[in-house]
């Protein structure tokens, strides 16, 4: 008797009927209980046979939206991926929709919020709103302010923003201001006007960061790369001719083709007023390193790159650099990875605008059905590169 009291006092205070029954069963009070236990066993067996239970047990986020499950004992319903403690199978019921679960009398779980759009969608919507704010902001808002706007802690917001856009909020704001400077400079505004128009509080701060954003000083950019020196050389690799160009910041072009003259013209079109200087002996060593990298991309290129492009292009190119050698991704997948699932065509456009062959591996992007699709430097080169990387 003493033993039984102790056991019962250990039963959870929110003890469910089912649990009390099994405790009682444990204590040996069998009369009239076998039926309930037998029923539970049957219910549990039925749930366990259901493939939806496997998804719940694995907290499979891929199953979210396909169905919901409710727990009789708590009166709450959840998404399959909910991180809350796994319910006992005999207490679980499945529903096709959240509405059906609510009609049956269940409340939405406070943790996985099954009555709201999925977490990713909610995050993407919040980040999109913040991006619009950053694009329009005169000066860079503080991280704390942005996080408050999104209703998250600064740390969580920073992580979510980066997961969705591929950039930190700070880098995103900088890229946008850089774009405003670029377009103002292209329209012919004075450098000072452009800087203040883009929300840089002081000239000094802009000049500190401008090399990183424009790849050259504002005056040089406005002059179409005038006063900027770009060294280049054309070499040979197994894919044909290769042009390697370097600005003061890093490798700014790797172009592939059949005709060395055409490659030099392509470089000239890109930097119409820069001073293009043919590479000397020491420069040829650098070209040799780039050629070595093109022949074996898996080894990686440990040279600084001078990557120029809009904020969107930079996001796409960063996503491309995250595709390891030997694997591929579709345009749709890249669009999803940068948090703009509808921008598939723009992703293709950014791939076509890439000036750093192989270093920004746009050749690893293929059609949804795995087909090769186009390549700026010819589909045969793309095929050869992919074959090389797959180790076949
Ligand atoms: Zn839940």
Residues 90, 46: Cα–Cα separation, whole Å = 8
> Of 367, 295, 298, 293, whose CA–CA distance to 326 is shortest?
298
- 48-58 pLDDT, tens per residue? 999 999 999 99
Residues 62, 231: Cα–Cα separation, whole Å = 50
C-beta contacts of 127-131 below 8 A and 24+ residues apart: 127/160, 127/161, 127/164, 127/165, 127/339, 130/161, 130/169, 131/165, 131/172
Cα(128) to ligand 1 centroid in Å equals 26
The residue annotated as part of the active site, out of 14, 78, 82, 237, is 78
Question: Near ion ligand 1, which residues have CB within 5 Å?
Answer: 78, 82, 84, 109, 111-112
Cα(54) to ligand 1 centroid in Å equals 16
268: number of Cβ within 10 Å: 14
Q: 115-136 b/e with 16+ CB inside 10 Å = b?
A: eeebeeeebbebbeebbeebee
**Does the global pTM surpass 0.75?**
no
Confidence of residue 134 (pLDDT cuts 50, 70, 90): confident
The residue annotated as part of the active site, out of 112, 131, 252, 362, is 362
pLDDT at residue 2 tops 50? no
Query: What percentage of the chain has pLDDT greater than the value 90?
Result: 26
Cα(73) to ligand 1 centroid in Å equals 14
Cα(110) to ligand 1 centroid in Å equals 6
- The encoded tokens of residue 99 equal 């509405």
Confidence of residue 93 (pLDDT cuts 50, 70, 90): very high
Of the ranges 66-80, 244-258, 287-301, the best mean pLDDT one: 66-80
Catalytic: 78? Answer: yes
Catalytic: 27? Answer: no
Residues 170, 158: Cα–Cα separation, whole Å = 9
> Of 336, 322, 308, whose CA–CA distance to 364 is shortest?
322
The residue count for the chain: 392
Residue with the bigger pLDDT between 51 and 211: it is: 51
Mean pLDDT, residues 225-239 taken together:
77
Residue with the bigger pLDDT between 257 and 126: it is: 257
> Of 167, 140, 147, whose CA–CA distance to 316 is shortest?
167
pLDDT at residue 26 tops 70? no
pLDDT at 193: 56
Of the ranges 56-65, 162-171, 279-288, the best mean pLDDT one: 56-65
Cα(92) to ligand 1 centroid in Å equals 13
Cα(160) to ligand 1 centroid in Å equals 20
pLDDT at residue 145 tops 50? yes
pLDDT at residue 240 tops 70? yes
pLDDT at 374: 80
pLDDT at residue 38 tops 50? yes
- 343-370 pLDDT, tens per residue? 888 898 889 889 999 999 999 999 888 8
Average predicted confidence (pLDDT) for the chain: 77
Cα(322) to ligand 1 centroid in Å equals 33
pLDDT at residue 25 tops 50? no
pLDDT at 101: 95
Complete edge-to-edge strand list for the sheet that includes strand 76-78: 92-95, 68-71, 76-78, 107-108
Residues 232, 246: Cα–Cα separation, whole Å = 6
- 279-318 pLDDT, tens per residue? 777 777 788 888 888 887 877 777 777 887 777 888 899 8
Cα(129) to ligand 1 centroid in Å equals 26
pLDDT at 7: 37
pLDDT at residue 203 tops 60? no
Residue with the bigger pLDDT between 11 and 93: it is: 93
Least confident range of 80-89, 167-176, 321-330: 167-176
């Amino acid at each position: 008797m003493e033993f039984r009291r102790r056991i019962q006092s250990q039963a959870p205070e929110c003890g469910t009927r089912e649990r009390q029954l099994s405790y009682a069963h444990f204590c040996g009070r069998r009369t009239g209980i076998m039926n309930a236990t037998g029923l539970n066993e049957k219910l549990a067996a039925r749930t366990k046979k259901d493939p939806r239970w496997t998804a719940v047990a694995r907290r499979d986020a891929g199953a979210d939206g396909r169905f919901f499950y409710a727990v009789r004992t708590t009166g709450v319903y959840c998404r399959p991926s909910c991180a809350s403690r796994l319910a006992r199978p005999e207490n679980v019921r499945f529903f096709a929709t959240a509405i059906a679960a609510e009609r049956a009398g269940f409340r939405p779980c406070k943790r996985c919020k099954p009555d709201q759009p999925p977490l990713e969608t909610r995050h993407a919507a919040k980040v999109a709103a913040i991006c619009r704010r950053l694009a329009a902001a005169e000066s860079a808002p503080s991280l704390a302010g942005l996080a408050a706007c999104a209703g998250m802690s600064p740390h969580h917001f920073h992580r979510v923003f980066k997961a969705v856009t591929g950039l930190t909020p700070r880098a995103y704001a900088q890229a946008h201001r850089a774009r405003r400077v670029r377009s103002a400079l292209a329209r012919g505004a004075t450098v000072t006007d452009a800087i203040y128009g883009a929300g840089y509080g002081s000239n000094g701060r802009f000049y500190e960061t401008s090399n990183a954003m424009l790849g050259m000083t504002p005056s040089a950019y406005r002059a179409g790369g005038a006063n900027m020196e770009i060294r280049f050389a054309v070499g040979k690799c197994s894919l044909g001719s290769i042009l390697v160009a370097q600005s003061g910041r890093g490798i700014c072009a790797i172009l592939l083709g059949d005709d060395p003259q055409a490659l030099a013209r392509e470089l000239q079109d890109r930097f119409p007023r820069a001073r293009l200087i043919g590479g000397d002996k020491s420069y040829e060593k650098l070209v040799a390193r780039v050629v070595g990298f093109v022949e074996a991309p898996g080894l990686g290129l440990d040279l600084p790159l001078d990557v120029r492009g809009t904020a969107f292009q930079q996001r796409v190119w960063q996503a491309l650099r995250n595709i390891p050698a030997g694997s591929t991704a579709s345009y749709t997948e890249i669009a999803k990875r940068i948090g703009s699932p509808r921008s598939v065509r723009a992703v293709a456009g950014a791939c076509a605008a890439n000036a750093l062959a192989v270093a920004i591996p746009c050749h690893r992007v293929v059609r949804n059905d795995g087909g090769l699709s186009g390549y700026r430097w010819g589909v045969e080169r793309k095929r050869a590169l992919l074959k090389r990387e797959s180790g076949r």
